[in-house]
Amino acid sequence: MTSDTIARRPYRPCVGVVLANPAGQVFVGQRADWTTPAWQMPQGGIDPGEGPRDAGLRELQEETGVGAELVTVEAETADWVAYDFPTEVAATRWNGKFRGQTQKWLLARFHGQDDQIRIDTEHPEFSEWKWVAPDAALALIVPFKREVYASVLAEFAGRI
């Protein structure tokens, strides 16, 4: 598959969630399907007929066990933010259908206790998780997503 072929494919509509605790730290999880360091925040596809907020709360529940009753959605990015997959990822994810993802991001404040975060879900996305300062999160994020994360964290700065 060539990069020209990939560039003609659409972006997958997604949502991401910056889950922040009362101390101003953010949740990051190590992807369960990567053996090398590959941390990210909860994110996933938007189903047909679903808006970003509903998709974000669903993905948060599916990936962390954190239900809507444990968070307050405080903000949403003004615009969609897109990124391209590396060629080897684009060729294998979703049968090579997408060139990357375009995302809306939510800032959600966690009001629960840490033991209410359960990454041992039916289809685990993360093998481990931790709270980190927002600026420390960028160094952990898989490189091809860092620009998106930097943009989102900058937009939410002062609110996390």
CATH number of the domain where residue 107 is located? 3.90.79.10
pLDDT tens for each residue of 58-111: 999 999 999 999 999 999 999 999 988 777 766 666 666 777 889 999 999 999
From residue 21, alpha-carbon distances to 9, 71, 134 in Å are: 37, 9, 11
- Domain span at residue 73 reads 3-156
* Total domains in the fold of the chain: 1
pLDDT band at 5 (very low <50, low <70, confident <90, very high): low
Q: Are 1 and 9 in contact (CB under 8 A)?
A: no
